[in-house]
Each structure stands twice: as structure tokens, then as C-alpha cells.
Amino acid sequence: NAGVTQTPKFQVLKTGQSMTLQCAQDMNHNSMYWYRQDPGMGLRLIYYSASEGTTDKGEVPNGYNVSRLNKREFSLRLESAAPSQTSVYFCASSDGGRVSTFGSGTRLTVV
């Protein structure tokens, strides 16, 4: 089915470990986004990529890096995980500035 695919679905990290969350979309959308969702906080934008080759910081970029590998793929990297990064992470894509499709999320726990 067409959409946004995120991997992994679940991950447990120890403080200080690194990992990369993968995201791919097959809708030929130009823009891609990484959000985190925390209880009582809604969704907060970490980074976004308006088009292939560009990335920009969102509301909460500290502790994260991103790579727009090609038009389809947008990865999120945690270089040194901290307990404050325990969250559910969502990748999304859009065409024309209308966020239309989210992935099913990655539930990350940092212990």
C-alpha cells in the first residue's frame, strides 16, 4: 500500500547509544518531516525537508540530526541518546505544504 514506512517500530536504547530512524515514502512527495509525540504535548516538529537536498530545524531539533538521502528517504539520527528523548517518533510527507500522510510511528525508550 502507498504511504509512509518507518522502521523500526519499537526500540530500547541505553543512555549514550546512537541510532537512526528510517523513513521512506512512495507518493513522490517533495516535503518530509520528523515529529515527536509526547503525552500532553501534541506533536512537535524536530526537522523537516522541503525538498530533496534541503533540511531545516523545527521546534525541537537539539540532540537530533537528519539526512534527506533522496526524494523517498528521510532519516533521523540520535547521536547520544538521552532519557528525555523517550518518545513516539512520526515521519510524515506532503506535497504542496499540506501534511497529509504520517507513518505508523517508532516508539523509542531510552533507559
Partner 1 sequence: QQQVKQSPQSLIVQKGGISIINCAYENTAFDYFPWYQQFPGKGPALLIAIRPDVSEKKEGRFTISFNKSAKQFSLHIMDSQPGDSATYFCAARWNTGNQFYFGTGTSLTVIP
Q: Does the footprint of partner 1 cover residue 92 (CB under 8 A)?
A: yes
Q: Site for partner 1 (CB under 8 A): which residue of 21, 23, 31, 76?
A: 31
Alpha-carbon span 76 to 80, nearest angstrom: 13
Omega of the bond leading into 39 within 30 degrees of 0 (cis): no
Q: For the CB of residue 15, give the shortest distance to partner 1 in the complex, in Å.
A: 26
Alpha-carbon span 99 to 96, nearest angstrom: 8
Q: For the CB of residue 77, give the shortest distance to partner 1 in the complex, in Å.
A: 20
Q: Is 62 exposed, middle or buried (0-12, 13-18, 19+ CB in 10 A)?
A: exposed
Q: Which stretch binds partner 1 (CB under 8 A): 18-26, 62-70, 74-82, 102-110?
A: 102-110
Contacts with partner 1, residue ranges (CB under 8 A): 4, 31, 33, 35, 40-45, 48, 50, 56, 58-59, 90, 92, 97-105
